[in-house]
Amino acid sequence: MQPAIRKIVTYTENTLIEGGKAAPRPLRLIGVAAVLTNPWAGRGFTDDLSPQIRACAPVLGEILTHEIVAAAGSGEAIEGYGKAAICGTSGEIEHASALIHTLHFGNHYRRAVSAKTYLAFTNLRGGPNTPII
């Protein structure tokens, strides 16, 4: 079972001046997101999420890692990182967490940027346009 990805979104922000002072080089913030169908939405309580985790998380990890490394130019150009997941109101926060809090997802990114630490995170449930704060 592949994840049903509706779209991939990439956001890039370049800061040239901060606090009235010009930066020695632009500070570039990059965000990449996948909008997908929740594989557990509307099913009620599910005892075992692992079949969908094993099927979906590696695909998401590979796609999103490729997109963010391409936007940054290389894995070496990435200095800091994190991850976030939002599920819709017909899902559970655990559904969002399940897809990103697994080595099947995170190890793609860790290898690409030579990371030795965990990925900071946040998980939310909300309707359309829910911000990640």
Q: Domain range holding 26?
A: 5-39+46-125
The pLDDT, as a whole number, for residue 86 is 96
The pLDDT, as a whole number, for residue 51 is 94
CA–CA separation, 93 and 80 (whole Å): 25
Domain assignment present for residue 16? The answer is yes
Task: Decide: 53 and 94 in contact? Cβ < 8 Å.
Answer: no
* Sequence-distant (≥ 6) Cβ neighbours of residue 86 within 8 angstroms: 96, 123, 124, 125, 126, 130, 132
The pLDDT, as a whole number, for residue 82 is 93
CA–CA separation, 103 and 111 (whole Å): 11
Strands 5-18 and 21-36, how do they pair?
Answer: antiparallel
Task: Decide: 3 and 56 in contact? Cβ < 8 Å.
Answer: yes
The pLDDT, as a whole number, for residue 1 is 72
Q: Please return the burial class of 82, using the count of CB atoms within 10 Å of its CB with bins 0-12, 13-18 and 19+.
A: exposed
Domain assignment present for residue 133? The answer is no
The pLDDT, as a whole number, for residue 54 is 94
Q: Which helix (H) or strand (E) holds 85?
A: strand 82-87
What is the tally of structural domains in the chain? Answer: 1
Domain assignment present for residue 131? The answer is no
Average pLDDT per consecutive 10 residues, the chain (133 residues; last block may be shorter): 92 96 95 94 88 95 97 94 94 93 93 89 93 86
The pLDDT, as a whole number, for residue 58 is 96
Domain assignment present for residue 113? The answer is yes
What is each CA distance from 87 to 18, 32, 126, in whole angstroms? 33, 16, 6
What pTM, to 2 d.p., does this model score? 0.89
Residue 23: CATH number of its domain: 3.30.1330.110
Task: Decide: 23 and 62 in contact? Cβ < 8 Å.
Answer: no
Domain assignment present for residue 132? The answer is no
The pLDDT, as a whole number, for residue 41 is 87
